[in-house]
Amino acid sequence: MSGVDGRPQRLWPEEEDVVPILAPRRDRLASESATERRRPRPPRLTAADFTPERILRPSAQPPAHGWRRTLYAFSGGVVAIAPSAAELRRRELVAQVKTPIVGCRTVAFVSRKGGVGKTTTCLLVGHTFAAHRGDRVIALDANPDAGTLGHRLRRETTETLPRLLRDRQALRRYADIRAYTSQAPSRLEVVAGDERSEIGEALGRTDVGRAVALLERHFNLLCLDTAAGVLGSANQGVLGAADQIVVVSGGSLDTARAASATLDWLEDHGREELAASAVVVLNGIRSEGGAVDLDRIEEHFASRCRACIRIPWDRHLDTGAEVAPEQLRPETREAYLELAAAIARSFTEPAARRS
């Protein structure tokens, strides 16, 4: 073929041959420029990208307990056995308990019948959240009829919910609120109720709403203990302030029926969202089988709401005195961790609308 000067052009040009240079076409340049403009740019990088999760190499977690933990400690960390399925499951539950909360979340613990362990459940769920989360968790005794939440931990103050409400206009900082709470080793804080009947009669719907409005400015998670039933004025205030509820039941036929009736009442009175996002607790379940088919009860509630969790009977909780989470049986602590995780799964969802 011919070159640009008329001389034959070989397939592989010699050193003296002229190599033609094609002139760029304007339409091609314009097309490439438009493509560059349309090409998505990478997200803008900032100093916020230097997080431990992004930059640091992951390190293996030592076993938490059992023979793997013993072998790990005995070998000075040299021998590390892979975690068991139970340990992996526990890590998953802890991760769920740590689900971030935008603003504040209010969880109310309710029951239609007394004596099913509602106060204990509220307290131990609060302990579980406070022990694993890094934000502020508080439990509030919203029972107007001699609530016992304040008696289940060592008190640091004699201040109570009515006094908190009385002084609320002067409480502007967390340090001000701290004078009215008792803090457990788990970091859970508790506002106790007042046992005097005249105060109990005065605690109503608006009082509960005011207390929640005050505390949610300083805490990320509120656990509300309530009186038995849902029709009282204080409990109506609790339901109006709650983002989600935990319905506590025993393992007997009558307590399970009452818990189901609670969901019926919520659905019949415009609170379908609270009923659908509820977690039901079957509390104080003994290991030996009884006449009640707990599997069928659990299936009933699991089909109506978010989850149904069984809490085993524990001798430490039978005393009615101060509760020390470390004295619970491992099975009980694991059950409360599962319960807290079930509650936390809704933290990423929009809260039920308050009324």
Beta carbons of 257 and 171 less than 8 angstroms apart? no
Give the whole-angstrom CA distance, residue 309 versus residue 121: 12
Structural domains present in the chain: 99-344 (3.40.50.300)
Strand (E) or helix (H) holding 47: none
Q: What is the mean pLDDT of each run of 10 residues along the chain (355 residues)?
A: 54 56 57 56 65 62 67 65 78 93 94 90 97 95 83 90 92 94 96 68 77 94 91 86 95 94 94 94 87 93 95 90 92 97 90 52
| 307-312: strand order across its sheet | 182-183, 189-191, 137-141, 221-225, 105-110, 244-249, 279-285, 307-312
Give the whole-angstrom CA distance, residue 102 versus residue 297: 34
Backbone angles phi, psi at 183, to 5 degrees: -110, 130
pLDDT at 353: 47
Helix ranges (DSSP H) in 150-292: 161-166, 174-178, 197-202, 205-215, 233-241, 253-268, 272-276
Backbone angles phi, psi at 104, to 5 degrees: -135, 145
Burial state string for 329-345 with b = 16 or more CB within 10 A and e = fewer than 16: eeebbbbbbbbbbbbbe
Question: Residue 291 contacts by C-beta under 8 Å, 6 or more apart in sequence?
Answer: none
Give 276: exposed, middle or buried? Use CB within 10 Å, 0-12, 13-18, 19+: middle
Strand (E) or helix (H) holding 338: helix 330-344
Expressed in angstroms, the distance from the first to the final Cα of the chain is 88
pLDDT at 291: 86
Among 182, 107, 196, which Cα is nearest to 144's? 196
Give the whole-angstrom CA distance, residue 159 versus residue 321: 20
For the chain, the residue count is 355
Using alpha carbons only, how large is the chain's radius of gyration in Å? 31
Angle 298-299-302 from CA coordinates, rounded to 5°: 85
Collapse the DSSP code of 311 into the 3-class scheme (helix H, G, I; strand E, B; otherwise coil) and give the result. Answer: strand
Residue type, 244: Q
Tokens of 353: 């609308």
pLDDT at 194: 78
Residue type, 328: L
Residue type, 349: E
Give the whole-angstrom CA distance, residue 175 versus residue 166: 17
pLDDT at 349: 79
